[in-house]
Amino acid sequence: MFGGATNLLFARASELRRQQTFAEDILWQYLKTKPRSFKFRRQHVYGIYILDFYCHKLSLVIEVDGSIHNKEDVKKNDEVRQKHLEENNLTVLRFTNDDIRLNREKL
């Protein structure tokens, strides 16, 4: 489930849970209610990655992307990361901060 992740990565994930973005907090307020009885984890370590939100039962990753993800080098990294996750039979859904912030009533 953790794919051989390092202790350093677990520490970073813990830090990210304490410093989540406004959009991540909005989405977490919904996901932590276990919608349709599905449990989600936030800032979940998976191999060399930290996933914003992860549901093991659904093999589902939800990523909330801030404006940094508009930079070319970050976009390329996201593509490589997503391809790797999909090769491991995970489904990846991506939303922008604005998607979450402006459409929170649809959660």
* CATH code of residue 11: 3.40.960.10
Place of tokens 């992860």: 54
Residue 38 lies in a domain: yes
- What's the pTM value of the predicted model, to 2 decimals? 0.86
> Which domain range does residue 57 map to?
7-106
How many structural domains compose the chain?
Answer: 1
CA angle 32-25-31, nearest 5°?
20
Q: What is the pLDDT of residues 74-107, one digit of tens each?
A: 889 999 999 999 999 999 999 999 999 888 777 6
Q: What is the pLDDT of residues 23-76, one digit of tens each?
A: 999 999 999 999 999 999 999 999 899 999 999 999 999 999 987 777 888 889
Residue 50 lies in a domain: yes
